[in-house]
A and B are shown apart, each in its own frame.
Chain A
Amino acid sequence: EAQVTQNPRYLITVTGKKLTVTCSQNMNHEYMSWYRQDPGLGLRQIYYSMNVEVTDKGDVPEGYKVSRKEKRNFPLILESPSPNQTSLYFCASSLRTSLIYEQYFGPGTRLTVT
């Protein structure tokens, strides 16, 4: 089954403790992206990747890191999480075909930083 998977689905952590949220897709998509969703602010793009070893900042990259060493994986790293990073995080991927970027989303990771 074609899908985007994220792990963990739920995470409660403390300020400053490094964490990684994994994202994997099995559709051979070149493009992958991370979003956060907050009440009243909607979905905002954190980072995106056009292909392996190619990443760039979205609208809200501060406090996050990403890497794209393999086509299928795009982990999101919080080196020193803070309470303002409590949010619902989504990973997405899409196939670059004639400028069509239909996105497929993972199920989300709910992160709480205390």
Chain B
Amino acid sequence: KQEVTQIPAALSVPEGENLVLNCSFTDSAIYNLQWFRQDPGKGLTSLLLIQSSQREQTSGRLNASLDKSSGRSTLYIAASQPGDSATYLCAVNGDYGQNFVFGPGTRLSVLP
């Protein structure tokens, strides 16, 4: 059964720092990996999706990498801002995409 973990569980950094969030999964037979952002009490917003054949994706200050063979993905946030404060979740899917498994999330606080 696929299991997804995220490290660290919580992170607090001063504004302007570059930071890395980690996601690990136990079964490398995935079709894609998706990073989401969730603000308190709100829904999930998709940030980046990496297909299994890709190594990385970039969007603005965000860069996500995927190492499928080792079961790892990282989300790199450059020049962090207080508005980046949120919980970041990764999710993977396999077996023709029907079953998505989420990690527990990393709660990020960026201090002014």
The chain A residues found within 8 Å of chain B, CB to CB, are 31, 33, 35, 40, 42-45, 48, 50, 56, 58-59, 90, 92, 94, 96, 99-108, 110
Contacts and interface: CB of A to CB of B under 8 A. Distances in A.
B49 A102 contact: yes
Interface of B: 31-32, 34, 36, 41-46, 49, 51, 89, 91, 93, 96-105
B100 A105 contact: no
Contacts of A42: 89, 102-105
B58 to A, nearest CB: 16
A107 B43 CA distance: 4
B35 to A, nearest CB: 11
Contacts of B89: 42-43
Contact of B98 (A44, A48, A108): A48
A101 B31 contact: yes
From DSSP, what is the main secondary structure of chain B's interface residues?
A: strand
A99 B44 contact: no
Given A43-B89, A107-B42, A108-B43, A102 B34 contact: yes
From DSSP, what is the main secondary structure of chain A's interface residues?
A: strand
5 contacts: A31-B98, A43-B89, A59-B101, A100-B49, A108-B42
Contacts of A96: 97
Nearest to A107: B43
Which one of B93, B96, B97 has the greatest number of beta carbons of chain A within 10 Å? B97
Which one of A56, A59, A101, A104 has the greatest number of beta carbons of chain B within 10 Å? A101
A101 B93 contact: yes
